[in-house]
Amino acid sequence: MFESLKKKFSRTSEKLEEEIIEEAEAEDNLQEEKGTRFSFFSFGRKNKEEKEEDKEDESNLLPEAEDTSMDEETSADEVEEDKKSGFFSRFRSSDDEAEEDSEEDSEEEVEEDLEEDIEEVQEEKKSHFWSRNKDKDKNKEDISADGEATGGLFSFVREKTISEKHVEDILFELEMELLQADVAMEVASEVVDSVKNDLVGKKIKRSNDITEYTFLALRNAVAEIIDIPGKSMTEMIEAKKQEGEPLVVMFVGINGTGKTTTIGKLANYYLKRGYTPVIAASDTFRAGAIEQVTYHADNVGVKIIKHKKGSDPAAVAFDAVEHAKAQGKELVLIDTAGRMQTNTNLMDEMKKIKRVSKPDLLVFVGDALTGNDATEQAKKFNEAIDIDGVILTKADADSKGGASLSIGYVIKKPIMFLGVGQGYDDIKEYDAEWMLNQLFSEDDEAIEVEE
Ligand SMILES: Nc1nc2c(ncn2[C@@H]2O[C@H](COP(=O)(O)OP(=O)(O)OP(=O)(O)O)[C@@H](O)[C@H]2O)c(=O)[nH]1
Ligand SMILES: [Mg+2]
């Protein structure tokens, strides 16, 4: 999940490191250092699992240490290592990069690109400081007697301070990259401003500090953005239960975002937790909609309240609420027809369902794959009907991550659940900490869905 944002965050730290090292080199303010070199992600991993990792052999953390079988000639491993150090990126023109970003590179294409890069790099080798250090590294082959990787780690003879000049271009690039990953404009600007404020003025002694500070600055910025306070649906069910009332939840959104599937998933989710949900088939508009939601209700084993196709969806919702009250059921899930925010009649109909059924919770269901469109739709629905929260579906297939990062921040309403697949169990209660780890860890954590 969210590979695109992960890559972009990591690239920002690489670029800043290159920029500062290059400047220090020109100032004769650079010395190679023997020590451990962390990548952006291994730094994050250390943070997260510090205690466990500390117990292990430190060399396990190092990408370089794993490459003990490196050939003398330029090998795929060496190429990979150079890529990590950001070595090639300085030789790429911005056009090349834009082109590269615009397509999802297959592994073969990446290999080809890297081979071309190797040729370019070899021509430049004689004159370039990093190439010189690369040659030195070759002799040592990066692994010292105690198994520590030594290559590519520098310290500064005189302490350096990160200045606005160092970060300006890099942060502009980051902003562009975030926009390409479908992050909303205001969110991208917020990330960039926050990272800039954090980084500028920081004093650095070693090249590793740059990665560390960039990692922390980005992580802090994103943590702020994705942490929108709000009650969980479970807390709300419990609160209503104390009053002897069902929690009434109405789901809205444009066509095909996953409203009906999400209702099936939530009915299953809460049934397993000991509650008794009832579903209202209030999409009386689309052909086959009543049959579809009935199919889910039957599969999961919950009651469905339905009328005929074309009947008044508000009346169906009202009946479902009455049924839940009469039967002491704790949760009413109201399915509604998909509608474009521009369709005035259907938007008015939606407002009527709200007026009649008086939901405690109005949930906008957005498709994460539609990126910035999902954020824009959420804005429009929020303006029209004042939504309380968001469920983002198809997060399992979302490699960009832009909507997940932006949607809550833009409308100032929390994400409540993430849809993470097509099965009934494929729903995950949103957790900002989990999301942050998804964005800042190299390994995709398996999506754990509580039974
Ligand atoms: N991969 C994936 N697919 C999903 C997810 N949620 C829903 N889908 C799929 O999205 C498609 C549309 O889902 P529906 O539940 O019919 O969407 P809807 O919003 O009710 O659609 P309308 O009623 O037409 O507005 C279905 O094929 C679902 O299986 C999810 O979290 N992940
Ligand atoms: Mg539907």
Per-residue pLDDT of the chain (451 residues; tens, 9 = 90+): 677 788 888 888 888 988 998 898 898 888 887 766 667 776 545 444 444 544 444 444 333 333 333 343 444 444 444 433 333 233 333 344 444 444 444 555 555 555 555 455 444 443 443 443 444 444 433 434 443 444 568 888 889 899 999 999 999 999 999 999 999 999 999 999 999 999 999 999 988 888 889 889 999 999 999 999 988 999 999 999 999 999 999 999 999 999 999 999 999 999 999 999 999 999 999 999 999 999 999 999 999 999 999 999 999 999 999 999 999 999 999 999 999 989 999 999 999 999 999 999 999 999 999 999 999 999 999 999 999 999 999 999 988 889 999 999 999 999 999 999 999 999 999 999 988 988 887 765 555 665 5
Pocket lined around ligand 1, Cβ cut-off 6 Å: 253, 255-261, 283, 286, 289, 338, 393-394, 396-397, 419-422, 426
Phi, psi of 158 (to 5 degrees): -110, 130
What is the best residue among 422, 426, 428 to mutate for testing ligand 1's pocket, by most ligand atoms within 8 Å of CB?
422
For β-strands 154-161 and 30-32, DSSP reports them as antiparallel
Domains of the chain: 1-33+155-226 (1.20.120.140), 233-440 (3.40.50.300)
**pLDDT recorded at residue 444:** 59
Specify the residue with its C-alpha closest to ligand 1, atom 8.
258
Q: Ligand 1 pocket check: which of 369, 393, 424, 429 to mutate, most ligand atoms within 8 Å of Cβ?
A: 393
User: For residue range 30-43, what is the model confidence (pLDDT) as tens digits?
Assistant: 888 776 666 777 65
pTM of the model: 0.77
pLDDT at 184: 96
From 257, 260, 261, 363, the mutation candidate for ligand 1 (largest count of ligand atoms within 8 A of CB) is 261
The residue nearest atom 10 of ligand 1, judged by CA position, is 258
CA 283 / ligand 1 centre spacing (Å): 14
